[in-house]
Structure 1
Amino acid sequence: MKRMKKHLSMLLILVVALAAFGCGKKEEAVKEGALYTPGTYTAEEKGHNGNVKVTVTVTEDKIENIEVDLMDETEGIAGPAAEKIVDLVLKNQGLGVDTVSGATVSSTAILAAITAALKEAGADVEALKNIKAEEEVLEVSDKEADIVIIGAGGAGMAAAVEAASLGKSVIIVEKMPIVGGNTNRATGGINAAETSIQEQEGIEDTIETYYDDTFKGGKEENDPELLKVMVENSAEAVDWLNELGAGLTRVSLSGGATNPRIHTPEDGSAVGPVVVKVLENKLKELGVEILMETTAKSIIEENGAAAGVEVENVNGNSFKIHAKAVIIASGGFGANSDMVEGFRADLVGFSTTNHAGATGDGIELGQEAGAALDDIEFIQIHPTTDPESGYMFTEGLRGDGAILLNSQGMRFTDELLTRDVVSANILKQEGGIAYLVTNEEMKEENAALAGYIKKGYATECATLADVAKAIGAEEAAVVESMAKYKDAVAAGTDAEFGREHLTQDLSEGPYYILKVTPGIHHTMGGLKIDTTTHVISAEGSAIKGLYAAGEVTGGVHGANRIGGNAVTDIIVFGRIAGKTAAEELGN
């Protein structure tokens, strides 16, 4: 008995010792006088598209290293934000760092993960938050270039690539801390007709059909000459991007198109980040200077011509960039609710798919320089955005076979009508809400859909009964709607709504349901330009030395933009702006 008690006592001591050792290892107190328990710590926080993971290494008195794994975040948006935050935390050895505009959700997650890791290291987190990051005081001095470009989105970067390739010195000013603008958010693809890729796929399409589709989609309000330039240069735009490494080799169908012509990455992933990446890489190769967090405040005029811009940097200091030509490529105004509502009172309270910098600054700058406006009242809402976040789901899903059900479980529209019509039809449904129905077969073929599912936007449903439950409808209604659609695909005729392109019959689960509502997406109006991107004055003449391209302009799309045409627009006219400005400067 004594021997047993002795063994039990020894076992108890061992257990207590092991427990103490384990607790001490996990929650070891910071040594007196030290800031951290030395080691490497990891933490994860939810970002925009999923989790972000950070690994923080500390010594007793220093944050030594921070590594950020962005996982599912958009590299072009979250990457620069991560670099900036890590740099400031390491430089200032504190957490008093602001989120990065344009990447707020991602940067909030990165900061939260760093904070959690440091807390695990025993840090006094509140004290670290009180260590405010010191703003870098940038030297201010006037600059000179052949061409200055306002905006580092797709149009501005395309213009810069062309101008620099023609031997001109180029400076881009970008008010946001990241490049790309709305192009980062382009989820579909780039429309083009008579491409080599269509030919390889056996797709018959013509420039004339592309023109007719776009003119019809724009309610015949498009400027015919601008539209002609866009469609005739579309195939070359795709080739140009692919020469830069974009890999846009998959062709699909989008709303308003007679034939498949929207070109995307091979896996069906979002086109925007790819375009931004290849353009940014080319600009680095060409040595083009991009001044980030630098806002154009006015266009310098000399002898009736644009002669540069006056800008303000992140510290609020002003300086001038003298140039022989100015290209405005600052995007639209979809994120400026006051401006939107000023032109369209019926759009009060709508969410937006646009990035925070899409506030119409370039339109105002152009007007101050005497520019006329074109189609300014035409503002597009995209039919399929997330009701809570405004995140946009590509209409390529509908082109690939998805259908829309309302909360009663019934189809209510041809899903491949133009964006304005599909949006209007959704807004007629209860609560202005609809449900995009996809399935496993579509997921396997479309990387964008797989991404939405991974990011948590979709509800997975094993059966149609589960679909009905997910959308709050009667099971019988959902079963009947899906059966009718399956029969329509089999017959090749959608007698109910007239949908012409019937691909997936959606007969097999599991199903993935995306809740959607329309949101402000594109502003078709802006500065008036001619076919070589000269900005036109209110008197009807070209303003010397001033050019514009992309969403900051009007006339190309008319009253409604066809999906896939935004990227075509920015690349075609961005390239023309860069070439025209460079060639008109001469040698």
Structure 2
Amino acid sequence: MKLNKIASVMAVMLLTSGVAIAKDQSLANFHADMDSCQSCHSKPIKVSDSETHENQQCRSCHGSYEELANEKLKFDPHASHLGDINCTSCHSGHSKPQLTCNNCHNFEIDMPFADTKEKKKWDAGWNQDKIQKAIDKGPVETLDVIVVGGGSAGFNAAISAKMHGAKVVLFEKAPYTGGNSMLAAGGINAVGTPQQKKKGIEDKVEWFAEDAMKGGRYKNDPKLVKILAEESADAVKWLESLGANMDDLKRSGGARVERTHRPSGGASVGPHIIDVLRKAAVDRNIDVRVNSRVEKIVLNDDKSVAGVVVHGRHSGYNMIAADSIVLATGGYGMNKEMISWYRPTFANMTSSNNVTATGDGIKLAKEIGASMTDIDWVQAHPTIGKDSRILISETVRGVGAIMVNTDGKRFINELTTRDRASDAILKQKDKYAWLVFDEQLVEKKKMVRGYEHLGMLSKANTIEELAKITDMNQLPQTVSAYNKYQKNGKDDAFGREDMPLNLTKAPFYAVKVAPGIHHTMGGVAIDTDSNVLNLQSWKIPGLFAAGEVTGGVHGFNRLGGNAIADTVVFGRRAGEHAAEHALKK
């Protein structure tokens, strides 16, 4: 029997007051004492890996996140940018709860039942004996296409495969989908869109490709870059057809014109796109299973794909058969061991990545003989909040912020590529910098309010006051000179071409930034069909990949706005070709 609304209110009152809750009592015992195990579970008890029934029970009693949101709280977990994720992402019935927000942040929030004993994590290791037993047992389920990873690339692949007639399941190891895509703050680069036409922006596919190649130091695969440029406008159109708003247009570093498309109103692009893709998957009845880690790709004797072994949080180890697999697991930016091995100079650097970016797809592919491309190239983003893991979007500079050193002096063109900007910051005496902007930018960039909310911004009513607060004694002279350059339309100091805003409207803001690991450019080698290649550069039949798990698209340095384009363009291609391969057999 479900808890009724009155019981639910009473439960919340008890939780918040601390009365009648034993020190080591678990959430499960608390609910069982009030009613029974069926407060949360079905009868007989059978928990799916996605914990679907349990999460439905949470909401039936306590309401949706929208209903639970509380504007009076300084930090409200129920209004997170992660969106409508499982309640069990934070609240655990039988073990210590964990605030998912603190995977990136350091919020001091008391979790109910925080004294519950912590149990060993279900995904703490990879058990090779159990993997082999699952293979020996044989498949428990047969599909056309398996998609591994629930970020933008994975969702786009799954939706594309389903629309081409395939039976698809998407597996995500985390308790919620989104991956690194959820954290994307900039936008999606595209050429030849109605948005560009409306603003009178001249752009060409050739320019897009040239900018990407130049940014990647000409180490990109030209064939992949050509596809990225040619299909970028259709990628925006595709997202809009699914319900996305891509009406705002900005310029990112390394681009010669405004081609970074993003939601109007200044919202972050990542949460918006993931929200749209999640709904699109539901609307198309695509089976998305979280808490499900793919731990092995199984091959037939002829080296074609036979399926995968999935380790589910509750279902254990099982082999799932499929004729096609799409790897969309992201990069390895949060795997310290891999960073230390492939890019030792970055070993102690902070990372803006989601905790899920541990290189699983690369390890799965290497194990079966897949070839790697540019695997040792890791991008440092120049503007991660100093002493944090919070990315300050490149579009903050694109919209009008200037970058200065600790003395308050500009030292580089703010719209240069990420690698050059990172190198320039690390050459400054304190190895960090400040981004400086005014209220005009805040009005255009809604996400900046989030930085203020997190306590990352220094704020003052005058530039002189801001200089004093931040100890940047030369900031007033720098701002005065920049405002003259902006008015005249020519940056005599560093040749910045696009200066959309001056710095004249109070209040004025500054945020400390320093380089941190942001994107791994290298990964699994693919061809133009997103088919994974083996060590002899032959196709591995039935294995496809898209997004940050792959190499070749970005060369040695990725331009801002090209990552989302990569996930949409090649995610769609991977899904389409995976479906074609599976259905022709």
Q: Normalized against structure 1, the TM-score is what?
A: 0.82
Task: Give distance in 2, aligned partners of 1:379 and 1:480.
Answer: 36
Aligned to 1:161: 159
Residue of 262, 265, 268 corresponding to 1:267: 265
Task: Give distance in 2, aligned partners of 1:453 and 1:386.
Answer: 12
Aligned to 2:69: 69
Q: What is the 5 A alignment of 1:372-391?
A: 372-391=371-390
| C-alpha distance 249-573 of structure 1, shift in aligned 2 (>3 A) | same
Task: Give distance in 1, aligned partners of 2:369 and 2:422.
Answer: 35
Q: What is the 5 A alignment of 1:461-500?
A: 461-474=460-473, 477-500=474-497
Deviation at 1:430, TM superposition (A): 2.5
Aligned to 1:119: none
| C-alpha distance 134-447 of structure 1, shift in aligned 2 (>3 A) | closer
Aligned to 2:225: 227
Aligned to 2:406: 407
| C-alpha distance 156-100 of structure 1, shift in aligned 2 (>3 A) | farther
Q: Which amino acid aligns with 2:298?
A: I
Aligned to 2:24: none
Cα contact 1:43–1:113 (8 A) shared by 2:
no
Query: Secondary structure, in 3 states, of the residue corresponding to 1:77?
Result: coil
Aligned to 1:549: 546
Aligned to 2:556: 559
Q: Which amino acid aligns with 1:77?
A: L
Deviations 1:150-171 (A, max 9, x none): 1111101100001111221111
Residue of 553, 557, 577 corresponding to 1:580: 577
List runs of 5+ in structure 1 lacking aligned partners.
1-35, 45-56, 116-124
Q: What is the 5 A alignment of 1:129-278?
A: 129=116, 142-278=140-276
Task: Give distance in 1, aligned partners of 2:372 and 2:90.
Answer: 39
Cα contact 2:144–2:583 (8 A) shared by 1:
no
Deviation at 1:446, TM superposition (A): 1.2
Task: Give distance in 2, aligned partners of 1:134 and 1:228.
Answer: 44
Task: Give distance in 2, aligned partners of 1:39 and 1:375.
Answer: 52
2:436 is aligned with 1:437? yes
Deviation at 1:104, TM superposition (A): 3.5
Task: Give distance in 2, aligned partners of 1:132 and 1:142.
Answer: 28
Aligned to 1:82: 87
Deviation at 1:182, TM superposition (A): 0.2
- Identity of aligned pairs, percent? 35
Cα contact 1:188–1:262 (8 A) shared by 2:
yes
Task: Give distance in 1, aligned partners of 2:34 and 2:315.
Answer: 34
Deviation at 1:458, TM superposition (A): 1.0
Cα contact 1:444–1:450 (8 A) shared by 2:
no
Deviations 1:381-412 (A, max 9, x none): 10111122210011101111100111111111
2:504 is aligned with 1:507? yes
| C-alpha distance 151-76 of structure 1, shift in aligned 2 (>3 A) | farther
Deviations 1:276-305 (A, max 9, x none): 111111111222222211111111101320
Deviation at 1:61, TM superposition (A): 5.5
List runs of 5+ in structure 2 lacking aligned partners.
1-8, 18-29, 40-57, 123-133
Task: Give distance in 1, aligned partners of 2:559 and 2:16.
Answer: 43
Deviations 1:530-581 (A, max 9, x none): 0110101111111111111100000000110000000000000000001011
Cα contact 1:426–1:517 (8 A) shared by 2:
yes
Larger Rg: 1
Task: Give distance in 2, aligned partners of 1:349 and 1:130.
Answer: 32
Cα contact 2:147–2:171 (8 A) shared by 1:
yes
Q: Which amino acid aligns with 1:296?
A: V
2:98 is aligned with 1:99? yes
Cα contact 1:182–1:354 (8 A) shared by 2:
yes
Task: Give distance in 2, aligned partners of 1:212 and 1:554.
Answer: 18
Task: Give distance in 1, aligned partners of 2:186 and 2:427.
Answer: 25
Deviations 1:428-482 (A, max 9, x none): 11321111001111111111112222332211111112211232122xx111111
Deviation at 1:132, TM superposition (A): 8.0
Task: Give distance in 1, aligned partners of 2:283 and 2:349.
Answer: 41
Deviation at 1:84, TM superposition (A): 4.3
Deviation at 1:85, TM superposition (A): 4.0
Query: Secondary structure, in 3 states, of the residue corresponding to 1:432?
Result: coil
Aligned to 1:317: 316
Cα contact 2:188–2:563 (8 A) shared by 1:
yes
Cα contact 1:39–1:58 (8 A) shared by 2:
no
Task: Give distance in 1, aligned partners of 2:298 and 2:385.
Answer: 42
Task: Give distance in 2, aligned partners of 1:288 and 1:334.
Answer: 29
Cα contact 2:216–2:555 (8 A) shared by 1:
yes
Task: Give distance in 2, aligned partners of 1:534 and 1:464.
Answer: 54
Task: Give distance in 1, aligned partners of 2:305 and 2:70.
Answer: 42
Query: Secondary structure, in 3 states, of the residue corresponding to 2:513?
Result: strand
CA RMSD of aligned residues (A): 2.8
Deviation at 1:109, TM superposition (A): 6.1
| C-alpha distance 488-541 of structure 1, shift in aligned 2 (>3 A) | same
Q: Normalized against structure 2, the TM-score is what?
A: 0.83
Aligned to 1:18: none
